[in-house]
Amino acid sequence: MNEWCFWGYMMLLAGSGVWLTVNLVAGWMQQRRRPRQQLLLQRSAGELVQGLLEESPRPLSVEHTVHAQQLLAELVASVHASLYGCAPAPLTRKLEQRGVDRWLVWQVKRSRGLKRAWALKLWGDLPPMPRVEPACEEWLLDPSPEVRLSALLVRLSAYPQDALRLVASCDKPMTLCEVSEVLHLLRRRLLPIAYQPLLESRNRNLQRLGLLIVHEFSIEEADEGLLRLIASTEDAELSLAALYTLCALHRPLRGKAIRQCIERLTAAERGVLMRHMAREGYAPAQVKRLWSERQRVRYEALVETYKTTLVWS
Amino acid sequence: MARVLIYSADRLLTELVRVALQGLGAEIRSAENYERFEQLAARMVFDLVLVVGVAPFWSGRELFRRVRPRPLHKPEIYVLAWHQADETVLGLLESGVDQYMTFPLNLARLRGKVITALER
């Protein structure tokens, strides 16, 4: 029995050693390859753009290397993100010719967690590839939020016209960061978005997107919608986000709805809001009705700190 | 012959811009770090400097002073970057940048602007 244990232990040790060596060698080789790959990517970027400008696709240096699909995907993603006004069809054709679409699906299927999210993110950065587009649907329900978001971005970049329906169909509430990613993508696709229906929608994710649009584009006419959201008591987090958006627009902070929203906040949340208001430049007289006597003194002190002077100098 | 200098740490973007400016009949040089940029700026006078990418808290004042000493109005300096914040753009314009363009770029538009700058 002891002998068996000994040999088992030795086998395990040898296996670990082999695994470690293989990983070390692979890492070392990858490190050695990287400068050459960078050079190839640079040359290929030139060739790719030249082909796009002359409308005659040409073979790229990067196509004949180890990991050609990954390098080609990274190259096309960078070029696609950096340029506009070039038709995406030649890029899609190039990707499909080299089998990058199938390679990406395979990558997503075989990996897990962040690696899968990375592959999906890369996929989302590429021009639409209709041949494999439906395959990403199953990852919209992945337990990992990073994977879910990346899959959503792939769908959005393929069907930007269905963006709102796709965002609304997300069953989990999206974070500010996730909504920002969606907005970034929509901006990149130059999609005109009406903020009003979003603010009026019953879907939280769409409301969040509407708030972000109002904030990003400084839409001062959105007062009414914002006040309606502030007044609603269904979702405290959303009302607070609406209040912050209103502050960012430097609109007057008057009304019962705003006062009630502030009353609902905890002391810590109120402190953060105060600092935000001071940073946005609200004079104590403008907001005195929102605070109690003690809070008013605190706000005045906040406005007079050197930090506020720094922000406004 | 007109001279254009592309200053960028990102080789890929440098290449994109270089290809876009091909065939203008201008001598195009590129610098991927500040040392190389200083060397080139000391050795020759450029008609246009394209700075690709900016970093947070970078006003570029030092770099622009190096390439365009006080009394000179040449070269023109264009910055191409991802930043869209007003503070960044205004800061750069106040430091002496002539044009600020954000990514994604339209290469035809960039080419047109460079042609106009070189003609000036």
**Apex A279 CA angle, A273 and A284, nearest 5:** 75
pLDDT digits (tens, 9 = 90+) for B62-104: 778 777 776 666 788 999 998 887 778 888 888 888 889 988 8
As a whole number of angstroms, the distance between CA A274 and CA A99 comes to 55
B10 interaction partners in chain A (CB closer than 8 Å): none
B106 interaction partners in chain A (CB closer than 8 Å): 83-85
Query: Are A303 and A284 spatial neighbours (Cβ–Cβ below 8 Å)?
Result: yes
Residue B112 token pair = 């047109």
Put simply, the answer to whether B20 touches A49 (Cβ < 8 Å) is yes
User: Any idea what the CATH number is for the domain that residue B108 is in?
Assistant: 3.40.50.2300
A172: helix, strand or coil: coil
Of the candidates B11, B16, B104, which has its C-beta nearest A49's C-beta?
B16
Q: Domain limits at B115? A: 3-119
Burial A149-159 (b: 16+ CB within 10 A, else e): bbbbbbbbbbe
Q: Is A68 on the interface with B (CB under 8 A)?
A: no
pLDDT digits (tens, 9 = 90+) for B10-21: 888 999 999 989
Q: How many domains does chain B have?
A: 1
As a whole number of angstroms, the distance between CA A92 and CA A300 comes to 59
Q: Is A193 on the interface with B (CB under 8 A)?
A: no
Residue with more model confidence, A306 or A251: A251
Q: Which residue of A has its CA nearest to B80?
A: A82
Distance from CA of A151 to the nearest CA of B (A): 23
Percent of chain A whose pLDDT exceeds 70: 97
pLDDT of residue A20: 93
Global pTM value: 0.78
Backbone angles phi, psi at A233, to 5 degrees: -105, 5
Q: Which residue of A has its CA nearest to B18?
A: A46
pLDDT digits (tens, 9 = 90+) for A187-245: 776 666 788 888 888 888 999 999 999 998 888 888 888 998 898 877 888 899 999 99
Size of interface A-B (CB pairs under 8 A): 51
B107 interaction partners in chain A (CB closer than 8 Å): 49, 53, 83, 85-86
Distance from CA of A187 to the nearest CA of B (A): 11
A46 interaction partners in chain B (CB closer than 8 Å): 15-16, 18-19
Note the ipTM here: 0.83
Identify residues of B whose CB sits under 8 angstroms from chain A CBs: 11-16, 18-20, 22, 103-109
Backbone angles phi, psi at B80, to 5 degrees: -115, 120
The interface residues of chain A toward chain B in range 7-66, judged by CB-CB distance below 8 A, are: 38-39, 41-43, 45-46, 49-50, 53
Please provide the DSSP assignment of A46-60 as one string: HHHHHHHHHT-----
Instruction: Provide the β-strand partners of residue B105.
Output: A83
Q: Is A290 on the interface with B (CB under 8 A)?
A: no
Res B61 pLDDT > 70: yes
CA dist list (Å): A225 to A4, A149, A238, A243, B48: 74, 27, 12, 11, 48
Give the residue ranges of DSSP H helices in chain A.
Answer: 2-54, 68-82, 89-97, 100-110, 113-125, 145-158, 163-168, 176-188, 195-200, 204-216, 223-231, 236-248, 256-263, 267-280, 284-287, 293-303, 306-312
Q: Is A4 on the interface with B (CB under 8 A)?
A: no
Tell me, rounded to whole angstroms, the distance of Cα B21 from its chain centroid: 12
Distance from CA of B27 to the nearest CA of A (A): 17
Distance from CA of B104 to the nearest CA of A (A): 4
Q: What is the DSSP letter of A212?
A: H
A32-35 CB contacts, 8 Å cutoff, 24+ apart:
A33/A66
B57 exposure class (CB count in 10 Å sphere: 0-12, 13-18, 19+): exposed
Peptide bond into A127 cis (omega under 30): no
Res A15 pLDDT > 90: yes
Peptide bond into A134 cis (omega under 30): no
A42: helix, strand or coil: helix
Res A313 pLDDT > 70: no
